[in-house]
């Protein structure tokens, strides 16, 4: 009897010891629920081949709950070791609260260009707190079959876009799949997607931050002007059309074009659509084009992590050629931000990343600094842009509302 007790005791002790060894598991916090399989089947095994013995767990939370859930876990000290960073202020806020570790000079960081790091730096650019992981590019997809049947070419200028749309409309199909029920598309895909061509990308974005331009200036109002003309090109009842409806509409071939982002490539490939991409059209033929090449995902280290050494090893691997290649080609439509040269295999993804060669890259207009005050510009833009597309707000009124809200709290740095 006593012996059995001893064996039991020994067993429990052994299990506890094993448990302690297991405590070295690295947990990754993320909102990319869709990528769970990919992390577990491809990325983590690839990492473990290089670094045997380090257990990694990918633990995603739904995107709408991610920020609040993460904050709660960070406060309670139960958050994962590696934290997927939203760009700009959400992560800056975490850094200011001391939740994220400073990463400057850490191995791997040298593999990223300065422009990629901006999204995860303090305003003075002195501290970097997340490693850039991926960006998404905004643009339009078109259904190759519909375009061929109607003998159309992907539009290059705004005029082309209207001509193409009119032709599709005449043929009895929906020219552009886009809905305003979920509101975010109106802002993130449409306004900040087509807008850079009007406000000249970074130039227009920085002018707003510097206080040299106002939203009521013609280059910004022009973007709203263009959007206000889109109503007739959208599906009937588009004000109640959700993003899922939009995806179905384009995938089923009922719409000729869709305002989308590179993250949708995987979905449409899966649906078996034969499609191509074109960048947001420019005002006049020959104008320089600008694209929204939005730095969307970063990876940071939890300041309270017990496995910082392992977390660093993982980050180092994230900065490697291997990760860049795997991520870009397996998570179609998310483009690695590192300096490594990668061959993009998917034809549409390749098309989109090649825009970087001819067009100027910028990020979403309001992503940096402008979202900081009250009223919050991101939510205001969702509302206003949807209202403009719905024909409920004139471009001028939209510009005034955004500018007034902005001027209320923003004092540009001298």
Q: Quick check: 177 and 253 in contact, CB under 8 A? A: no
Partners of 156 in the β-ladder: none
CB of 346 to another protein, least distance (A): 28
**DSSP 3-state helix, strand, coil percentages of the chain (rounded to 5)?**
50, 15, 35
5 versus 236: smaller Cβ distance to another protein: 236
Residue 67 is a binding residue for another protein (CB under 8 A): yes
255 versus 353: smaller Cβ distance to another protein: 255
Residue 386 is a binding residue for another protein (CB under 8 A): yes
216 versus 248: smaller Cβ distance to another protein: 248
Residue 376 is a binding residue for another protein (CB under 8 A): yes
Residue 95 is a binding residue for another protein (CB under 8 A): no
136 versus 235: smaller Cβ distance to another protein: 235
Count of CB atoms situated within 10 Å of the CB of 273: 18
Taking CB under 8 A as the criterion, the residue among 36, 145, 170, 408 binding another protein is: 408
Q: Quick check: 298 and 87 in contact, CB under 8 A? A: yes
Q: How far is the C-alpha of 185 from the C-alpha of 390, rounded, in Å? A: 13
Q: How far is the C-alpha of 293 from the C-alpha of 297, rounded, in Å? A: 12
Cβ burial of 229 (10 Å; 0-12, 13-18, 19+) is middle
Residue 392 is a binding residue for another protein (CB under 8 A): yes
Q: How far is CA 81 from CA 30, 74, 92, 101, 162, in A?
A: 11, 10, 17, 11, 50
Residue 241 is a binding residue for another protein (CB under 8 A): yes
- Taking residues 182 to 201 in sequence order and writing x for each that binds another protein by CB under 8 A, - otherwise, the string is xxx-----------------
Q: Which stretch binds another protein (CB under 8 A): 4-12, 120-128, 179-187, 301-309?
A: 179-187
Q: Which stretch binds another protein (CB under 8 A): 162-170, 174-182, 196-204, 344-352?
A: 174-182
Q: How many residues bind another protein (CB under 8 A)?
A: 45
Structure-block tokens of residue 239: 């004000």
Cα diameter, the chain: 91
List all residues 6 or more positions away from 400 whose beta carbon is below 8 Å from its beta carbon: 215, 216
Residue 316 is a binding residue for another protein (CB under 8 A): no
Residue 269 is a binding residue for another protein (CB under 8 A): no
Structure-block tokens of residue 205: 């974005």
CB of 382 to another protein, least distance (A): 6
Q: How far is the C-alpha of 261 from the C-alpha of 185, rounded, in Å? A: 10
- Taking residues 336 to 375 in sequence order and writing x for each that binds another protein by CB under 8 A, - otherwise, the string is -------------------------------x---x--xx
Q: How far is the C-alpha of 293 from the C-alpha of 23, rounded, in Å? A: 39
259 versus 377: smaller Cβ distance to another protein: 377
In the complex, which residues of this chain contact another protein (CB under 8 A)?
64, 67-68, 71, 75, 88-90, 93, 96-98, 179-184, 235-242, 245, 248-249, 367, 371, 374-379, 382-383, 386-387, 390, 392, 405, 408
């Amino acid at each position: 009897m006593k012996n059995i007790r001893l064996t039991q005791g020994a067993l429990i002790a052994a299990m506890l010891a094993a448990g302690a060894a297991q405590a070295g598991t690295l947990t990754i916090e993320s909102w990319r629920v869709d990528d769970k399989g990919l992390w577990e089947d491809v990325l983590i095994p690839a990492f473990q081949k290089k670094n045997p013995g380090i257990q990694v767990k990918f633990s995603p939370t739904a995107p709408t709950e991610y920020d609040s859930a993460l904050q709660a876990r960070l406060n309670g000290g139960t958050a994962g070791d590696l934290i997927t960073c939203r760009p700009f202020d959400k992560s800056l806020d975490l850094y200011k609260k001391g939740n994220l570790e400073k990463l400057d000079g850490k191995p791997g960081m040298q593999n990223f260009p300065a422009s990629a790091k901006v999204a995860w730096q303090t305003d003075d650019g002195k501290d970097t707190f997340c490693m850039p992981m991926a960006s998404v590019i905004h643009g339009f997809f078109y259904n190759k079959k519909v375009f061929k049947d109607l003998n159309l070419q992907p539009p290059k200028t705004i005029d082309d876009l209207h001509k193409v749309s009119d032709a599709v409309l005449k043929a009895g199909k929906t020219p552009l799949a886009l809905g305003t029920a979920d509101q975010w598309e109106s802002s993130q895909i449409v306004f900040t997607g087509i807008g850079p061509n009007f406000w000249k990308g970074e130039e227009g974005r920085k002018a707003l931050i510097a206080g040299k331009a106002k939203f009521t200036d013609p280059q910004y109002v022009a973007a709203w002007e263009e959007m206000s003309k889109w109503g007739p090109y959208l599906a009937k009842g588009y004000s109640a059309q959700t993003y899922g409806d939009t995806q179905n509409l384009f995938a089923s071939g009922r719409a000729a074009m869709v305002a989308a982002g590179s993250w949708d490539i995987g979905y449409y490939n899966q649906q078996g659509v034969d499609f191509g991409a074109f960048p947001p059209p420019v005002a006049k033929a020959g104008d320089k084009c600008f694209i929204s090449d939005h730095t969307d995902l970063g990876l940071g280290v939890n300041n309270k992590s017990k496995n910082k050494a392992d977390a660093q090893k993982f980050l180092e691997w994230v900065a490697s050629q291997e990760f860049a290649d795997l991520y870009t080609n397996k998570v179609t439509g998310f483009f690695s931000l590192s300096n490594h040269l990668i061959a993009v295999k998917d034809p549409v993804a390749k098309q989109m990343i090649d825009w970087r060669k001819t067009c100027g890259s910028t990020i979403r207009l309001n992503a940096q600094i402008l979202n900081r005050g009250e009223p919050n510009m991101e939510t205001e833009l969702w509302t206003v842009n949807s209202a403009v597309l719905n024909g409920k707000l004139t471009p001028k009124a939209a510009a005034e509302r955004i500018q007034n809200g902005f001027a209320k709290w923003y004092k540009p740095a001298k």
